[in-house]
Structure 1
Amino acid sequence: MSAPVTPAIPVVPDRLRAEVRDAAARLEDLVAALPAPAERGPDQRALAAEAHERARAARRRLLAVQADRLGREVVGPGRYRSLTDMAYDLADIVPGLAPSRAEMEVERGRRQSAKEGLEVDQGIVYSALFGSSVGVDLLRSQRSPTADACARLPEFQRTAVLEMSVVSVRRTDGVAEITVANERYLNAEDAVLGHELEVAVDLALLDPGVRVGLVRGGVMKHPRYAGRRVFCPGINLTLLCAGQIPFLGFVLQREVGYLSKIRRGLWDPGQADDPAARGGKPWVAVIDEFAIGGGLQLMLTFDYVISSDTAYFTLPAAREGIVPGAANLRLGRALGARLARQMLLGGRRIDARDPLATLLCDAVVGEDAVDGAVERAVRALDSPAVVANRHMLTASEEPEDQFRSYVAEFAEVQARRLYSPDVLHRLEQQWTKRQH
């Protein structure tokens, strides 16, 4: 009789987890012995950077063999879990793999140029997770409705209105009109705006009484734009400078959260076998004044875009030093490769009256003609056939796996750009100006 077979012990993963823990512990000891990041001299910064990279190399070796398994441990089937919460779970499962909640609390108290740069480690982890076999499930989990939206849905269905601090949504005749009114910052994007916009998008998609979604900027009180609507000037650079734009909670979450929900609809595992149920709903955007940076990124997810004839469009991300979300993936389809490069790399501006604007907008009208253009667009899109065809267009233009692959690359590239010397130098200059 043969001896029983002893199961193989996963020596390599255990050893790699120990390497991650040990490298993170050594890094922690070093950082504790050094001054705060903003007070370090050149030699101290170099010493810390070297220790960070050693710890990151250990994380990469572990993720190369265990990203699939770790992803399955944190991605909850059929329910929404934020990228931030999953990252904290990973920090508990493998200490040192990702920054802990306590470590990130300390980081949040520092301006961007004075942080330790722990969000780079979050970017490395999510790059591996999105690039693994669990990547598609991770993407789909972020298209589940948020708990906040699910809690607010009954009241919204009853009243047809939801007012939040900077975003509101109102249902009228099958149209969910979402108004963004972050007046203090002229509708610049931040974590609060991002969360509320995602809740509003969720409600529009969850409510069977909504057939078409509409997004427009609210009326501003800023002296320069008083009494006029503004769409979006992109990321809130004031808050980014102050270190209050979270990488996971906003920068990455918006790409796989409400932007993906507008483009692809909600993900419901119970309807996964019904393609018609995956088509989402058609969306209209109205661009007043400008769509800059993140505003233009948002434009690229809509089915129909109406612009006032005085508006303009630009992507200054290269000048700011960062990556403009998924615009690098999508803009070339709209404009062609050469013009897309001029906007992405050179910051070229396109005015609404420029013939090239027809590649970005479906209708360019005078201010007094916007309401009529909206009514016509909504009427044209209010059809079950539109839902089916937009689903097929998205499937052909941007297959889910193509987007997953892009996000996997974006996760680390963008995290590193947010902590690169040129970006931090620019932000430090802005910080200094605000102190005087």
Structure 2
Amino acid sequence: MTLATALPAGPSGGTREDPRFAWAAPGKAVERGEERLTDLPDPEERSPGQRALAAAVHDELRALRARFLDVHADAVYDLLTGDRTRYLRLGELVDAAADAFPGLVPGPERLAAERARPQAAKEGHEIDQGIFLRAVLRSPVAGPHLLDAQLRPTPRALRLLPEFVRTGVARMESVLLVRDAGVARLTMCRDDRLNAEDEQQVDDMETAVDLALLDPAVRVGLVRGGEMSHPRYRGRRVFSAGINLKSLGSGGIPLVGFLLRRELGYLHKLMRGVLTEHPGQWRSRYTDKPWVAAVDAFAIGGGAQMLLVFDHVVAAADSYISLPAAKEGIVPGVANLRLTRFTGPRVSRQVILQGRRIHAAEPDARLLVDEVAEPGEMDATVERSLARLAGDAVLANRRMLNLAEEPPDALRAYMAEFALQQALRVYADDVIEKAGAFGAVKS
């Protein structure tokens, strides 16, 4: 049984309060518009005139969707979640919306067909997901509920938890998690690609963060890059090269499964904790723990974004941090919200808009990292920082610091606009050209 058939009677037998009734007319208009798109050649084969026509049709249909959601976003969300009694993660939510409101967002089959194409050959249906999620997230009713849904443990983590509690080890494709004397040591181990993130790594990272947070024997977490097999850094630890641009060019970086899940999943959990039902829930809805990051070699792009949610950052003296957003053409996650808190507005603009690198040896690096250690002293420095964060009062104070520095509503408002702006950027001509060129050079 689909969600649409499980719900009460729809437009034909419902009332005007049913949002499916309100969607009936714009939904028919969307259907007619999409038929015009299917009459055109595939996106990469269109003439300039056909591309202009497709853009005009998309603009018309997206305006219809946006106007509908401006009025009905809360009613749509309540219908999909049973008046907010069910917690649907991002992917589940957009699939449910596609089922109950045909044409409002693309369905799984359409997205699967798009996923098989390189970025340059896609129609850009994920932009419609961005419109939908922007409306949901900016709602003060639906938005907080969706944030909570993303903070709940993933089903995969819950399946792996008993074994991890028993053995203290969880091996995944891109992450190794080991519990050692109360420390959850999370090692990113995409050794052939400098820990460049793709959808698999986002899934593995969220699973590992969930396990560390849920295991009662863990007091503090550590995230560090493993040793690389990549020719340029063979045998050296590397933190992260950020988004995998080759995957982006080939069409393998989804809006929901990577770009949004990453921010509202494991990165948000590193800061806020995991939302669970537990005996002491009256004290806090979240199970959270302090986290340390150890930066070897570099933290580029998404790697630099990660550092902004850690309680303590140790960097090797020969490492650097950069956010090459202007070069890549995309929005660097939540860095535009968080970086200014650390560096001030001038440095944040230099880093994000102009591509400035911050080297660990320069004074401005102390705005982003807590300690700088010589490469041979990294291990000892990291262990001392872990011991300092094991204090009894650390949890309460980090919780209050995070609440003061980034209230949930501030993140929600930012992510509402990010959902659409990032979708627009990954389908922009300049990003497609740069990502395609990167893939051609590296392949």
Between the aligned residues of both structures, percent identity stands at 47
Relative distance call for 1:330 and 1:275 in structure 2 (3 A) is: farther
Q: Which residue of 2 aligns with 1:46?
A: 52
Q: Which residue of 2 aligns with 1:131?
A: 138
Aligned pair 1:86/2:118, yes or no?
no
Relative distance call for 1:200 and 1:48 in structure 2 (3 A) is: same
CA contact (8 A) 1:279 1:388 kept: no
SS in 1 for 2:28: helix
- Between 1:313-322 and 1:74-83, the stretch displaced more is 74-83
Relative distance call for 1:149 and 1:323 in structure 2 (3 A) is: same
Question: Which amino acid in the other structure matches residue 175 of structure 1?
Answer: V
Q: Which residue of 2 aligns with 1:120?
A: 127
State the distance in 2 between where 1:377 and 1:78 align.
41
Aligned CA-pair RMSD: 1.9
Q: Which residue of 1 aligns with 2:321?
A: 313
Q: Which residue of 1 aligns with 2:300?
A: 292
Question: Which amino acid in the other structure matches residue 115 of structure 1?
Answer: K
Q: Which residue of 1 aligns with 2:43?
A: 37
State the distance in 2 between where 1:35 and 1:272 align.
59
Aligned pair 1:324/2:332, yes or no?
yes
SS in 1 for 2:275: coil
2:116 aligned to which of 100, 109, 119:
109
Q: Which residue of 1 aligns with 2:8?
A: none
Q: 1:28-51: per-residue Cα shift (whole Å, max 9, x none)?
A: 312221111111111111111111
SS in 1 for 2:232: coil
1:60 aligned to which of 52, 66, 77:
66
- Between 1:45-54 and 1:87-96, the stretch displaced more is 45-54
| 1:16 Cα offset (Å) | 3.9
CA contact (8 A) 2:314 2:370 kept: yes
Matching of residues 31-430 of structure 1 within 5 Å? 31-75=37-81, 81-132=88-139, 133-268=141-276, 274-276=282-284, 278=286, 280-430=288-438
State the distance in 2 between where 1:182 and 1:434 align.
16
CA contact (8 A) 2:314 2:373 kept: yes
State the distance in 1 between where 2:175 and 2:17 align.
51
State the distance in 1 between where 2:24 and 2:188 align.
47
Gaps of 5+ in 1: 1-7
State the distance in 2 between where 1:51 and 1:311 align.
48
Gaps of 5+ in 2: 1-13
TM-score (norm 2): 0.93
SS in 2 for 1:426: helix
State the distance in 1 between where 2:292 and 2:62 align.
43
CA contact (8 A) 2:37 2:57 kept: no
Q: 1:319-377: per-residue Cα shift (whole Å, max 9, x none)?
A: 21110000000000000111111111111111000011111111100112111111111
| 1:269 Cα offset (Å) | 5.5
State the distance in 1 between where 2:254 and 2:21 align.
32
Question: Which amino acid in the other structure matches residue 92 of structure 1?
Answer: D
Aligned pair 1:10/2:12, yes or no?
no
Question: Which amino acid in the other structure matches residue 37 of structure 2?
Answer: V
CA contact (8 A) 1:232 1:292 kept: yes
Q: Which residue of 1 aligns with 2:5?
A: none
Matched residues, number: 428
SS in 2 for 1:384: coil
State the distance in 1 between where 2:61 and 2:340 align.
37
CA contact (8 A) 2:291 2:310 kept: yes
| 1:279 Cα offset (Å) | 6.0
